[in-house]
Amino acid sequence: MKIALCSSFVPFVNGGYRNIVEWLETMLLEAGHEVERIYLPEADSPDILFRQMAAFRFVDLDAADRIICFRPQSHLIRHPHKIVWFIHHLRAFYDLWDNPDYRGFPDDARHRGIRTALRAADTAALREARRVFSNSRVVSQRLATYNGIDSEPLFPPVLRPERFRFRGMNDEIVCICRLEHHKRQHLLVEALKYCQSDVRLRLCGLSAGTGYSAAVAQWAHDWGVSDRLTIDERWISEDEKAELLADCLAAAYLPLDEDSYGYPTIEAAHAGKPVLTASDAGGVLEFVTDGTNGLVADPDARSVAQAMDRLFEHREATRQLGEAAAARIGEMNIAWPHVLERLLA
């Protein structure tokens, strides 16, 4: 089949959002399909949003047998066989409307009008699709609540999961993801203050360039925990990731209100390592169940510290959590064959 993968991108911001598209492309090519990638620029400022959506409406992909749309507002693209794998709304106009920190513009009549119009456009565009998938139950719920759209959660797998394996358990809890406030590495660092055991923490990932990583390093110094902390602020290659996860004690991933479980969660699970997360991490909790295949702490430093100590001190239990995490992947059918089967149905 000729399949067009459609998504949006912000120029010069290399987020993990490209992985879902590019990994799917790899798998589709291996399955013998012809794939074309369409990335169009995102512009979500309220005043130009509709011009951008109009541009998407004019995209002509009749040459494709079907199209799969990912990041907003790519679902506006037209096609007789449109599949949407919805990864998130423009949340400022949806569930984050009541949060002025995230909304970024005033709650006045004009913006409420934009909100009404955007939701109507999203709903209409989603209705054009033959099928709508989401990347998590959280997102499916939002689609139902705000757009009245039924969607099937389809969990994004990592590429070549066989790269991740269990080798041993050292003293380190690793957190491999972008260093930014939203991912809350500072919470892990603060937890070190209250840790009773000799557990260590390693933070790896690219900085978002906002000075957050420097701030975290400074706090570590102020709290006197620098000796138990390693910060690798750089691009971590896939091989390095596999190595780190192979040997670590456990992984930590506790973003605030994430849309989906996040690749770090399942990368760790593939390596047989449990994830330490927080109760307000959103989609991560669709994967992690406290005490079964990971640990869910309260989003405060002491609770996180307790969890870290527990992982360190009860290694056998930690190992079992890791094994359950690996099994969870199968339970949730997070696998490429399933993904291809659903998308190509």
Binding site for another protein (CB under 8 A): 2, 4, 10-13, 34, 36, 38-43, 45, 48-55, 57-64, 76, 78, 108-110, 112-114, 116-118, 120-121, 124-125, 128
Rg (CA), the chain: 21
CB 18 → another protein: shortest distance, Å? 11
CB 341 → another protein: shortest distance, Å? 23
CB 345 → another protein: shortest distance, Å? 22
3-state helix, strand, coil in the chain (%, to 5): 45, 20, 35
Bridging pattern class, strands 250-252 and 172-176: parallel
Q: Which is nearer to another protein, 36 or 233 (CB)?
A: 36
CB 89 → another protein: shortest distance, Å? 16
Residue 108: CB partners within 8 Å, gap ≥ 6?
A: none
Q: Which is nearer to another protein, 11 or 32 (CB)?
A: 11
Place of tokens 């239990």: 317
Q: Which is nearer to another protein, 112 or 165 (CB)?
A: 112
**Cis peptide bond prior to 306, omega within 30° of 0:** no
Q: How far is CA 332 from CA 73, 311, 335, in A?
A: 28, 24, 9
Burial class of residue 55 (count of CB atoms within 10 Å of its CB; 0-12, 13-18, 19+): middle
Q: Is 118 within 8 Å of 94 (Cβ atoms)?
A: no
Q: Which is nearer to another protein, 130 or 315 (CB)?
A: 130
CB 143 → another protein: shortest distance, Å? 17
Query: Please, what is the angle between helix 109-127 and helix 49-57, to 10°?
Result: 20
Q: Which is nearer to another protein, 1 or 214 (CB)?
A: 1
Reading the block at residue 111, the tokens are 């913006």
Cα(325)–Cα(330) distance, integer angstroms: 9
- Alpha-carbon dihedral 223, 227, 232, 233, rounded to 10 degrees: 30
Sign of CA dihedral 134, 140, 144, 147: negative
Q: Which is nearer to another protein, 83 or 125 (CB)?
A: 125
Q: Which is nearer to another protein, 26 or 292 (CB)?
A: 26
CB 121 → another protein: shortest distance, Å? 6
Q: Which is nearer to another protein, 49 or 187 (CB)?
A: 49
CB 124 → another protein: shortest distance, Å? 5
Q: Which is nearer to another protein, 92 or 195 (CB)?
A: 92
Q: How far is CA 4 from CA 7, 19, 25, 265, 316, in A?
A: 10, 16, 9, 28, 47
CB 10 → another protein: shortest distance, Å? 6
CB 16 → another protein: shortest distance, Å? 17
